[in-house]
């Protein structure tokens, strides 16, 4: 093991292949050979050619493409269909094509030899256009041309050294080994020690998925996972979704659910922007309607939404939502809303994911809907689906795109069981159910979880009308939330009860009033009695005073008359 002492990072040659430079943090090791191994049709030649063409066009590094399998004419024709004009590039001295024809039936080995002819050709090609890049596709063809493996191997070893000495960034392709663990059929990996990339093309349940993995990259960090990649009109697109990780920034900004009373249940403001939302429910519970209501509202606020419909065509959704009072057509017309309808079984899971990422990157929506993810399970095992979704969710979160997933629940199956994998990826989980009671089915919703916010734990009944989804008032009874007619019955019952109590109160009030009147009458009577007593006492006092005065006067008069005392 070498220990780096602050030496500047390994110089790298950007390939220009979408996503590849991200997973290798800059491209292929500059001035060194890289081995690209893969089975038939795994995209080795395209990888090599795209490396050369993008190098020539985008990075001003002319390249030599040595083909051991396809003739120049074939290469020109094949890459024309991918939009690359090899003839023009050759004329501009940006590209040098050399087809090395090896036919065992024409070759006799008659003694000691070396591959100097190939070296001279290669050197001539490099000098002709001052090439900085070289692709050898597929060098292993040499093994079928020469019987003397001993000479061949030492010459290949010399070739790799020679390429390094020339300072060209080289890509050598090789067939994947048929044996388990064998990266290449002829063990070329033992000569290339700097960088090895494996391409894979697997078919599972009749669906093909292409994957790429950086097996080793000496002196550099790199993503170690298998990355799905696409081959299309634009060449190779690697989707480094696993490289996202969990270090994304979050926001406290909220985004409305599109249903005011549902917003209230989420603390009055709705979902967090950039969060992942799962709406699961049995068939016909209104998952698509909830999703559409969200999309409709978001688009109305002038934000772009992307809707992946795996079950219905866009026109069907537009028609159906019109009955809920949502006119989605003008939003599509304005370019705010985009539908991508595709059958999940059309592609493999990874390809689906890759295409979705490609569309998302191109359309840059602020919210996406995947309706439903349960259909994805058809094209992958539960674990694969979880991994794929995890990558998708991580990628969306890093871009602060709110994602809403719907999931169909099988009636009669345990929801926890069914969502064990998926729900942990979700920040918010809403459950739609039909409750059967009294001979009818009514739809209810509840929030199973919502990370990072206070939310209502109330089961709510909702109805779908031409006004959209409407939440109705809550009626709870001993058996839980009352819905439908049971709610109406309860409502009526409560109304009767209320009336009865109202009457009772009225009656009691009247009683009281009566009592009050009686009491008041008695108080008046007593008061009157007291008043008359008082009057009598006062009268007596007055009389007594008068009497005593009179008596005094009489006595004085009598004394004077008798002249008993001398007074005055």
Partner 1 sequence: MSDKPPIKSATEAFEKALNEKGTYILKLFVSGMTPSSLRAIQNIRDICQKHLAGRYELEVIDIYQQPELGKQEQIIAAPTLLKKLPAPLQQFIGDLSNTEKILVGLNIIPKTPADERKD
Please give the positions annotated as active site. Answer: 69, 311
CB 486, CB 300: distance < 8 Å:
no
Distance CA 217, CA 370 (A): 36
In whole angstroms, the minimum distance from the beta carbon of 99 to partner 1 comes to 8
Which positions from 467 through 506 interact with partner 1, judged by CB under 8 A? none
Helix (H) or strand (E) holding 355: helix 349-363
Minimal distance, residue 169 CB to partner 1, in Å: 22
Q: How far is the CB of 196 from partner 1 (least distance, A)?
A: 25
Footprint on residues 362-381 left by partner 1 (CB under 8 A)? none
Cα 255 to Cα 427: distance, rounded to the nearest angstrom: 14
- With both helix axes pointing from N to C terminus, report the angle between 72-80 and 44-58 in degrees, rounded to the nearest 10: 80
Task: Annotate 404-425 with b (16+ C-beta within 10 A) or e (fewer).
Answer: bbbbbbeeeeebeebbeebbeb
Residue closer to partner 1 by CB (options 156, 469) is 156
Count of residues touching partner 1 (by CB under 8 A):
29
Nearer to partner 1, 118 or 306 (CB): 118
Distance CA 514, CA 520 (A): 10
| Contacts (CB under 8 A) with partner 1, residues 33-72 | 71
The whole-angstrom separation of Cα 342 and Cα 310 is 5
Q: Least CB distance from residue 146 to partner 1, whole Å? A: 8
Nearer to partner 1, 98 or 303 (CB): 98
Structure tokens at 550: 């009179």
Torsion of CA 508, 509, 515, 518, to 10 degrees: -140
Toward partner 1, which CB reaches closer, 105 or 496?
Answer: 105
Q: Minimum distance between the CB of residue 139 and partner 1, rounded to whole angstroms?
A: 11
- For residues 151-170, which are near partner 1 according to CB under 8 A? none
Chain residues 94-153 in contact with partner 1, contact rule CB under 8 A = 98-104, 106-118, 120-121, 123-125, 142, 145-146
User: What mask of x and - would describe binding to partner 1 in positions 434 to 473, judged by CB under 8 A?
Assistant: ----------------------------------------
List the interface residues with partner 1, window 258-317 (CB under 8 A): none
Q: How far is the CB of 7 from partner 1 (least distance, A)?
A: 37
**What is the residue-wise DSSP string for 377-420?**
GGGS-HHHHHHHHHHHHHHHHHTT-EEEEEEEPPTTS-HHHHTT
Q: Which of 124/498 has CB closer to partner 1?
A: 124
Beta-bridge mates of residue 38: 175, 199
For residues 101 and 516, which CB has a smaller minimum distance to partner 1 in the complex?
101
Q: CA-to-CA distance for 235 and 214, rounded, in angstroms? A: 19
Q: Which residues bind partner 1 (CB under 8 A)?
A: 71, 98-104, 106-118, 120-121, 123-125, 142, 145-146
């Amino acid at each position: 093991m070498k220990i780096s002492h602050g030496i500047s990072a390994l110089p790298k040659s950007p390939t220009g292949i979408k996503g590849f430079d991200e997973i290798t943090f800059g491209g292929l090791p500059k001035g060194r050979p890289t081995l690209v191994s893969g089975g038939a049709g795994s995209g080795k030649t395209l990888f090599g050619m795209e490396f050369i063409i993008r190098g020539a066009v985008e990075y001003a590094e002319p390249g030599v493409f040595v083909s051991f399998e396809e003739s120049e004419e074939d290469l020109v024709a094949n890459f024309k269909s991918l939009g690359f004009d090899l003839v023009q590039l050759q004329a501009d001295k940006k590209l040098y094509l050399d087809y090395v024809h090896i036919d065992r039936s024409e070759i006799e080995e008659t003694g000691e030899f070396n591959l100097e002819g190939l070296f001279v050709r290669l050197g001539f090609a490099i000098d002709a256009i001052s090439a900085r890049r070289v692709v050898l596709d597929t060098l292993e063809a040499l093994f079928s041309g020469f019987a003397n493996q001993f000479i061949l191997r030492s010459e290949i070893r010399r070739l790799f050294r020679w390429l390094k000495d020339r300072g060209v960034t080289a890509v050598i392709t090789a067939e994947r080994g048929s044996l388990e663990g064998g990266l290449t059929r002829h063990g070329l990996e033992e000569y290339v020690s700097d960088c090895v990339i494996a391409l894979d093309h697997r078919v599972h349940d009749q669906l093909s998925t292409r994957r790429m993995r950086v097996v080793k990259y000496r002196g550099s960090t790199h993503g170690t996972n298998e990355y799905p990649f696409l081959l299309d009109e634009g060449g190779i697109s690697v989707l480094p979704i696993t490289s996202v990780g969990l270090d994304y920034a979050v926001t406290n900004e909220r985004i409305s659910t599109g249903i005011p009373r549902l917003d209230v249940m989420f603390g009055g403001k709705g979902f967090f922007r950039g969060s992942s939302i799962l709406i699961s429910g049995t068939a016909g519970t209104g998952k698509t309607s909830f999703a559409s209501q969200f999309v409709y509202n978001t688009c109305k606020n002038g934000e772009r939404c992307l809707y992946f419909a795996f079950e219905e065509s866009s026109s069907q959704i537009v028609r159906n939502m019109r009955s809920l009072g949502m006119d989605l057509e003008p939003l599509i017309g304005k370019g705010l809303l985009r539908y991508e309808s595709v059958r999940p079984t059309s592609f493999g899971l990874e390809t689906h994911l890759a295409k979705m990422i490609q569309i998302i990157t191109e359309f840059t929506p602020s919210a996406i809907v995947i309706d439903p993810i349960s259909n994805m399970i058809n094209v992958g095992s539960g674990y694969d689906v979880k991994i794929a979704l995890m990558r998708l969710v991580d990628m969306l979160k890093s871009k602060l795109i709110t994602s809403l997933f719907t999931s169909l629940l099988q009636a009669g199956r345990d929801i926890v069981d069914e969502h064990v994998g998926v729900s942990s990826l979700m920040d918010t989980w809403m459950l739609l159910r039909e409750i059967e009671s009294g001979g009818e089915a009514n739809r209810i919703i509840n929030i199973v979880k919502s990370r990072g916010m206070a939310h209502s734990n109330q089961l709510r009944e909702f109805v779908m009308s031409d006004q959209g989804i409407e939440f109705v008032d809550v009626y709870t009874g001993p058996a839980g939330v009352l819905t439908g007619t049971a709610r109406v019955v309860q409502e009526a019952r409560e109304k009767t009860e209320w009336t009865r109590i109202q009457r009772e109160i009225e009656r009691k009030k009247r009683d009281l009033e009566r009592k009050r009147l009686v009491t008041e009458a008695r108080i008046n009577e007593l008061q009157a009695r007291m008043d008359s007593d008082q009057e009598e006492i006062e009268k007596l006092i007055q009389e007594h005073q008068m009497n005593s005065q009179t008596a005094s006067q009489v006595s004085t008069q009598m004394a004077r008359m008798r002249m008993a005392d001398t007074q005055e």
